[in-house]
Amino acid sequence: MTVSSAPRVPIPTRDAAAEAIHVENLHKKFGQLHVLKGVSLSARDGDVVAIIGGSGSGKSTLLRCINCLENPTSGIIRVNGEEIRLKADSHGHTVPADRRQIERIRSRLGMVFQSFNLWSHMTLIDNVIEVPVHVLGVPRDKAVAEAERLLARVGLAEKRDVYPAFLSGGQQQRGAIARALAIQPRVMLFDEPTSALDPELVGEVLKVIGDLAREGRTMILVTHEMKFAREVATHVVYLCNGLVEEEGPPDRIFGAPQSERLRQFLRNVA
């Protein structure tokens, strides 16, 4: 996705694994509000990239750009080596150049939001099979079998025929994770997946995400759970005012931060 001639900022590579996500010099403006000011990051196969930072730092906007829910103002995003193509419309705004490409890109990305977003008129298993059956064309019997396996994996086998209104917040979020996994994504994106949960329900969702990390699944995780980020992440990115203030392995980011802003942030959230 190239929509301006701004100079490209090289990003470091951490190993020789295949690159699943590549973000380079990404900018996003909402009118006069400049939210992302040249963010670059990468996630290779098996990486768990934790994005941390204060409210308004651009964390959720970055994820929404990667998943094509927002159109960046400029910069480059590649998913599995494929660059997202955007163009300028008649008003000078960036829009997708190819809607079919956007659909294809989204089919490689499993997104889990803050607020669960399960369809309330569907049972849990129908939520999980909806996209595989009606978007990806998976035969219903095959999709149901896979959905049952995924619900068991997240501890919800007995809730398959329950509607979201009768599930706890933690159960709904675990169901949302199963739904995201059902498309067999290349990368899982988590946008503050525990922020809407009561404190006693946070642990059950973090356990599922931790299990996925230990299985080697590639993930980008926006989180305010610092202890969890330190335990599961392979790489941590600290965003501040729309820029990458500091990044590195979790032991260094949390144990020996170089930036005074990061040190202050960690003191505030401790």
- List, in order, residues 6 or more apart from 14 with CB less than 8 Å away: 42, 44, 47, 234, 235
Q: Residue 115 pLDDT > 90, yes or no?
A: no
Q: Residue 5 pLDDT > 60, yes or no?
A: no
Instruction: Tell me the pLDDT tens digit for each residue of 135-161.
Output: 999 999 999 999 999 999 999 999 999
Q: Residue 11 pLDDT > 80, yes or no?
A: no
**Alpha carbon distance 204, 36 (integer Å):** 32
Average pLDDT of the segment spanning 202-228:
95
Fold of 1-108+185-270: Rossmann fold (3.40.50)
pLDDT at 196: 87
Give the predicted TM-score (pTM) of the model: 0.90
Instruction: Tell me the pLDDT tens digit for each residue of 238-263.
Output: 999 999 999 999 999 999 999 999 99
Instruction: Tell me the pLDDT tens digit for each residue of 73-99.
Output: 999 999 999 999 999 888 878 889 999
Report how far apart, in Å, the C-alpha atoms of 230 and of each of 52, 160, 214, 224, 248 are. 11, 33, 13, 11, 11
| Listed range (29-33, 114-118, 222-226, 248-252) with the worst mean pLDDT | 114-118
Q: Tell me if residue 148 falls in helix, strand or coil.
A: helix
DSSP alpha helix (H) spans, 29-123: 59-66, 99-106
pLDDT at 48: 97
pLDDT at 16: 58
Q: Residue 15 pLDDT > 80, yes or no?
A: no
The CA-CA-CA angle for residues 129, 134, 138, to 5°, reads 65
Q: Residue 1 pLDDT > 50, yes or no?
A: no
Residue 210 one-letter amino acid: G
Considering the chain, what percentage of its residues have pLDDT values greater than 70? Answer: 94
Tally the C-alpha atoms within 13 A of residue 56's C-alpha that lie toward its C-beta.
Answer: 3
Considering the chain, what percentage of its residues have pLDDT values greater than 90? Answer: 85
**Closest by CA position to 113, among listed 173, 175, 202, 200:** 173
Instruction: Considering the chain, tell me which residue range(s) the CATH 3.40.50.300 domain(s) occupy.
Output: 1-108+185-270
CB 163 within 8 A of CB 84: no
